[in-house]
Amino acid sequence: MLKIAQLLKLDVPLILASKSPRRKKLLEQLGLSFQVIPSDFAEENHSINYLPEDYVQKLSLEKALDVARKIKNSSIVIGADTIVLLNGKIINKPLDDKDAKKILKKLSNKTHTVLTGLSFVKVPEQKFITTYQKTLVSFRKLDEDEIDAYIKSGSPLDKAGAYGIQDDFGALFVSHIQGCYYNIVGLPLELFYQTLKEFIKSNYGNRKHL
């Protein structure tokens, strides 16, 4: 079996700073060994001060740094954050069922953007690298009974944009995508691999804070 860790020349443990079951599953798909330590970083909406691409990278980096400060042993912490944009405005996770319905109606028959920020922090040096991935997602026109049924499933409440493309039902809303599918799920795997490879090869070169 192909060992991704060997290709990467990975010689320190990986820590995922996220409780997302979807990101955990995607990393497992790569056959990587890692520990999950969710970040306690409190997201405050300061997006107005940043371009969306910078904002999502900042969130992913802050999550990774929050966990990195608690770790003493040599390791690499992975931070990620996904946001949905419609007409340039960020659509967060729905507050409740009513909000989820409002969001899905907005996305119906339109194309929106999914941005995922990705950060790696090397412990104990606190050196890091950040990047992001963008995917365009087009929804077909949604019927109200379909939206109501999806909301009753409970699936929309923990997801940016109130849907998950990996869900049996949520996938039926998407007519087509332009870009990385895994980015919509929450962790762009090709970008993950290439960025981590670059980070290790550069001997954990540092980047400036966003």
Calpha distance 88→167 (Å, rounded)? 25
The mean pLDDT value of the chain amounts to 91
Q: Assign 2 a pLDDT band (cuts: 50, 70, 90).
A: low
In tens, the pLDDT along 142-166 reads: 999 999 999 999 889 888 899 999 8
Q: Looking at residues 135-144, what average pLDDT do you find?
A: 97
SS3 8: helix
List, as one string, the DSSP characters of 98-152. Answer: HHHHHHHHHHTTSEEEEEEEEEEEEETTTEEEEEEEEEEEEE-PPPHHHHHHHHH
Q: Is residue 118 scored above 70 in pLDDT?
A: yes
Calpha distance 147→201 (Å, rounded)? 47
Q: Assign 3 a pLDDT band (cuts: 50, 70, 90).
A: confident
Which CATH number is 4-201 given?
Answer: 3.90.950.10
82 sits in which H/E element: strand 75-86
Q: What local confidence, expressed as pLDDT, does residue 210 receive?
A: 46
Q: What local confidence, expressed as pLDDT, does residue 44 receive?
A: 66
Q: Is residue 1 scored above 50 in pLDDT?
A: no
Q: Where are the domains of the chain?
A: 4-201
What's the distance, CA 95 to chain centroid?
Answer: 19
Q: Considering the entire predicted model, what is its pTM?
A: 0.91
Active-site residues, by number, are 81
SS3 187: coil
Q: What local confidence, expressed as pLDDT, does residue 170 receive?
A: 86
In tens, the pLDDT along 83-113 reads: 999 998 999 889 999 999 999 999 999 999 9
